[in-house]
Amino acid sequence: MRLEYFQMVDHIADLDLGERRITVTSRVPQQSTVFEGHFPGHPLMPGVLLIETMAQTSGWLIIALLKFERMPFLASVKEAKMRDFIKPGEPLTVESRIVHDGSGFAVTEAKISVDGKVKCNADLTFRHTPFPNADLRGHMEQMARQIGFPEQAKL
Amino acid sequence: MSSTFDQVATIIAETCDIPRDTITPESHAIDDLGIDSLDFLDIAFAIDKAFGIKLPLEKWTQEVNDGKATTEQYFVLKNLSARIDELVAAKSA
């Protein structure tokens, strides 16, 4: 996880297109300027960044289901619950599943666990469109290689 | 009054917090009820679930953008209800 680059996913651990679900892992960095402000003397992963982590996890699942032809963009967040603190250095397991596959949009349920305990969850809606330009698609393909996106999921 | 319209009107009322009695078959979802594209995603989600279909929103939007259809054809509720009935019929055919 590189907060300064908004790179919230370290590794795709499991991608099941049949079941339309994904599991990724990511470790919260031990040090970040984010923690200097959130909060001094009591560093915590901000809730908005946890939502972003769930959104990016869902996003990789949607990209896989759409054969890397379209890009999802977060449209709404519902029922977001921050159930417990997440601290610097903690290893996250992030799971997402497709609840609905609509025309030009998708709905997911996502959650983040630490050592088997659910720390937060949310229902997320995404619009998806063809990649707006080659640069973004190229960047996403590079990211996909970094996090272990299965090549066969592009076919 | 079609049961499809009643279901759609109820979905819109509940999803967008619009008084049910202000929603009529002649209501235009965008122009009269003020439903924006994000709210319409929630409505489409609920309609898809309720009727077991997939509203072809992208196709409709493209047709409107290309001048091949008007928004009234898809977003006046009596017309939307008719499109839903067609999709349900096509699914079960």
pLDDT tens for A110-137 read 999 999 999 999 999 999 999 999 999 9
Whether the predicted pLDDT of B87 surpasses 80 = yes
Q: Structural domain boundaries of chain A?
A: 3-31+42-133
Cβ of B45 and A107 within 8 Å? Answer: yes
Does the bond joining B45 to the residue before it have cis omega, within 30 degrees of 0? no
Is A128 assigned a catalytic role?
Answer: no
Q: A148 CA to chain B: closest CA distance, Å?
A: 31
Residue-wise pLDDT for A23-45, tens only, equals 999 999 999 999 999 999 999 99
Exposed (0-12), middle (13-18) or buried (19+): which is A95, by Cβ within 10 Å?
buried
Chain B positions touching A103 (Cβ under 8 A) are 44, 54-59
Judge whether residue A152 has pLDDT over 80. Answer: no
Put simply, the answer to whether B41 touches A127 (Cβ < 8 Å) is yes
What ipTM, to 2 d.p.?
A: 0.90
CB-closest option in B42, B49, B57 to A104 = B57
Question: Domains (ranges, CATH) in chain B?
Answer: 2-90 (1.10.1200.10)
Region A97-109: mean pLDDT is: 97
Q: Which of A74, A78, A101, A103 to mutate to test the interface with B (most CBs of B within 10 A)?
A: A103
Nearest C-alpha of chain A: how many angstroms from B60?
10
Domain with residues A3-31+42-133, CATH architecture: Roll (3.10)
